[in-house]
Chain A
Amino acid sequence: MTSPQPLIQMQNVDKYFGNFQALKKINLSVSKGERIVVCGPSGSGKSTMIRCINRLEKHNGGTIIIDGIELTDDLKDLNAVRREVGMVFQSFNLFPHMTIMNNLMLAQKLVRKTPKAEAREVAMHYLERVKIPEQAEKYPIQLSGGQQQRVAIARALCMKPEVILFDEPTSALDPEMINEVLEVMVDLARDGMTMICVTHEMGFARSVADRVIFMDAGEIVEEAEPETFFNAPKNDRTKLFLSQILSH
């Protein structure tokens, strides 16, 4: 399923933090409906790469084009892009001082200019989708980690994004809560949502990813369908990484 123009296109993207080069000539193209899993050792640039896609980090070289809009310092373009790109963070990052309902309504009202009643309806719809409508009037701290992450996913969905970026969404969770979050993500994938997930959940990668990308030292080292990626990795660094995370 390749559409004529990819939804996300990164060409020769470089990113520096001071003298340290976090991304080296990254080329990545993601079509609508594709599900990409990004893995790699810590510090390999996975998070930096997806954070460049919605410009939480500014890239220093190359071009990033999202849905036909090139990411530059132009605020108008940036806002247009951010409306289309949802993000889910490792540490949930819910607004602690707002109820769950207000967490879901805030950006709808301020960014999408959705009327209040409609925003509430949309929020409730997605809370039901992540199976916690009964928590709507609570504050984030009153929810478990897994519930908070599901709220964070619902909050991203409320903006009706074209793509959702997941930055290690299950790494801060206790083991028993990982599945409830993964289930929601699998559900989204089945619905055709375009997703880029930085994760070490290899089971998730195997079952939903169209492509798995392996990064190391700021480069994309290997890129393959899950079947090939897990069973016949080509690069030695990939092999080493896989042996380390799958050995037990």
Chain B
Amino acid sequence: MSFDLPLIAEALPKMLMGIGLTFQLLVLSAILGLALAIGVMLMRISGKWYLSWLAQVYIYVFRGTPILVQIFIVYYGFPQLDFIREGFLWPIFRDPFGCAIVALTLNTGAYVSEILRGGVLGVDRGVLEAGEALGLSKSQRFIYLTTPIASRLALPAYGNDIISLLKSTALASTITLADMTGIARTIVAQTYAPYEIFISLAIVYMIVTFFLQKLLGRVERYLGRYTIREG
């Protein structure tokens, strides 16, 4: 078979037009997802059975179903409900971008909350006891001891989830959004050249991932600065 290089040269700039949307999906759902995850994690470790139970149900539902199905339920399913159509959130659910953000946020929030919980559980009990013995209150211990230490412990797994989230944003193309994957699919429909287009699309994702990895590595080194003996 032939490999149509000029076609790639023509298609690449078009696909890259979608990179902005890809980034918007990634950054917005990453930030909202992290905020959600922190809340859910706090519920999970609150020691109150009803909060913990609620958190566990949420985590189970969103880890137990495919993200594609979640996106479809939010996009096709929610607008069928009267209280959604009449509710103040309708502007979000009316818009495929809003639906994609909601689904991605809910999905990543479930995974990240468990990642954060792992970090919190990994904090040395003795360090917290030392804080307690010095008279630090529970919230002071959480802010000044648990949070910074747990962040470092959770970061490698969290970075993994962010990179995974980048790839999940491609699913937004299934609900009409023109992110990089959405544009690629349109080009393929016009040119019947899936091979060239999808391979170049894959390479673009890999390049973005490369920079994401670099960035995460940097944050990891910063948060782990106190774990190096020499210095």
Q: Which of B127-170 contact A (CB under 8 A)?
A: 127, 129-137, 140, 144-145, 148-149, 152
Cβ of A111 under 8 Å from chain B:
yes
Residue of A nearest to B141 (CB): A110
Chain A nearest Cβ from B222, distance in angstroms: 11
Q: Which of B113-136 contact A (CB under 8 A)?
A: 124, 126-127, 129-136
Verify B132–A107 contact, CB threshold 8 A. no
Cβ of B214 under 8 Å from chain A:
no
Verify A139–B226 contact, CB threshold 8 A. yes
C-alpha spacing A82/B137, complex, angstroms = 11
Cβ of B227 under 8 Å from chain A:
yes
Residues of chain A with a CB closer than 8 A to B152's CB: 97
Residues of chain A with a CB closer than 8 A to B225's CB: 139
Verify A95–B127 contact, CB threshold 8 A. yes
User: Given A93-B126, A95-B145, A106-B144: A141 and B132 within 8 A (CB)?
Assistant: no
Cβ of B48 under 8 Å from chain A:
no
C-alpha spacing A237/B112, complex, angstroms = 54
Chain A nearest Cβ from B176, distance in angstroms: 46
From A82, A86, A89, contact of B126 by CB (8 A):
A89
Number of A residues with CB within 8 Å of any CB on chain B: 29
Residues of chain A with a CB closer than 8 A to B144's CB: 95, 106, 110
User: Given A79-B135, A111-B135: A96 and B130 within 8 A (CB)?
Assistant: no
Residues of chain A with a CB closer than 8 A to B148's CB: 97
Chain B nearest Cβ from A240, distance in angstroms: 31
C-alpha spacing A97/B146, complex, angstroms = 10
| Listed residue (B124, B129, B149, B227) with the most chain A CB atoms within 10 angstroms of its CB | B129
Residues of chain B with a CB closer than 8 A to A37's CB: none
C-alpha spacing A95/B132, complex, angstroms = 12
Chain B nearest Cβ from A146, distance in angstroms: 16
Residues of chain A with a CB closer than 8 A to B132's CB: 56, 82
Verify B133–A82 contact, CB threshold 8 A. yes
C-alpha spacing A70/B34, complex, angstroms = 43
C-alpha spacing A97/B229, complex, angstroms = 13
Verify B226–A97 contact, CB threshold 8 A. yes
Residue of B nearest to A78 (CB): B135
Cβ of B47 under 8 Å from chain A:
no
Q: Which of A97-135 contact B (CB under 8 A)?
A: 97-98, 106-107, 110-111
C-alpha spacing A111/B137, complex, angstroms = 8
C-alpha spacing A139/B149, complex, angstroms = 14
Q: Which of A147-174 contact B (CB under 8 A)?
A: 152, 155-156, 159
Chain B nearest Cβ from A83, distance in angstroms: 5
Chain B nearest Cβ from A36, distance in angstroms: 18
C-alpha spacing A86/B127, complex, angstroms = 14
From A97, A98, A107, contact of B134 by CB (8 A):
A107
Verify B149–A54 contact, CB threshold 8 A. no
Verify B130–A139 contact, CB threshold 8 A. no
Q: Which of A186-204 contact B (CB under 8 A)?
A: none
Chain B nearest Cβ from A19, distance in angstroms: 23
| Listed residue (A83, A91, A138) with the most chain B CB atoms within 10 angstroms of its CB | A91
Cβ of B87 under 8 Å from chain A:
no
C-alpha spacing A56/B128, complex, angstroms = 11
Chain A nearest Cβ from B227, distance in angstroms: 6
The 10 closest A-B pairs by CB, nearest first: A93-B130, A107-B134, A82-B135, A87-B133, A111-B135, A93-B126, A139-B226, A97-B148, A83-B135, A97-B226
17 further A-B pairs in the complex, CB-CB below 8 A; given A79-B137, A106-B136: A79-B135, A82-B132, A87-B130, A87-B133, A89-B130, A93-B126, A95-B127, A96-B127, A96-B226, A96-B227, A97-B152, A106-B134, A107-B131, A139-B226, A140-B226, A156-B134, A159-B135
Could you write out 23 A-B pairs with CB less than 8 Å apart? A56-B129, A56-B133, A82-B133, A86-B134, A87-B133, A89-B129, A91-B126, A93-B127, A94-B130, A95-B144, A95-B145, A96-B227, A97-B149, A107-B131, A107-B134, A107-B136, A138-B231, A141-B228, A141-B229, A142-B230, A152-B130, A155-B134, A159-B134
